[in-house]
Amino acid sequence: LQIVIPANAVANVGIRDVIYDQRMNRFTAVVEVPAGAANAARVKVGGNIFASARIPVLAHPMARGDVIAESDIQWVDVREEVVRRDIVTNMRQLIGQEPRYQLRAGAPVRTVELQKPVVVAKNAPVTMVVRTRFMTLTAQGRAVEDGSTGDVIRVTNTHSKQTVDARVDGPGQVSVSPGGMRALAN
């Protein structure tokens, strides 16, 4: 919008004759400078009205392996129609998560683009642990798939070559239920 006024004119801006068409979500108005002056420069303007929503987005690009912290997040206003059911709308949905692949800064983040941080990578060595009331057994294994803390993944005992389900306890460590003890023993 450009309005040309005399150099000595008071530059207060006024908006008048606002008309809103609710059915079409359009508006028109007259912008005048200086406001209320008989010799004011006037320009008719119009546009569309859109409902907006405020959503969290990444403040900078992030890749797989990066864990999202509060300092990595900024808030932006977007058209409400952009916010589908799979778009992250709450900062808590981002914090502590890891992108599945490279994500752009400033773009809405979809829930399917996030995962819990991988603490056991596919083919990584792991310590397999079985705990009972009376004993604790350990064996060396290899992860068959990626896993986050609390996930159940497939793990192969490197000695016996048997594969069992195990719960990821932390980096390089998984728990095998006592029923999977045979995989540790052989």
My answer on whether 106 and 57 are in the same domain is yes
Weakly modelled stretches of the chain, pLDDT under 70: 1, 6, 180-186
The reply to whether 131 falls in a domain is: yes
pTM greater than the 0.85 cutoff: no
Question: Domain containing 43: what range?
Answer: 14-48
Q: What is the CATH number of the domain that holds 163?
A: 2.30.30.760
Residue among 113, 114, 50 at smallest CA distance from 82: 50
Q: What is the CATH number of the domain that holds 69?
A: 3.90.1210.10
pLDDT of residue 39: 80
pLDDT value, residue 184 = 55
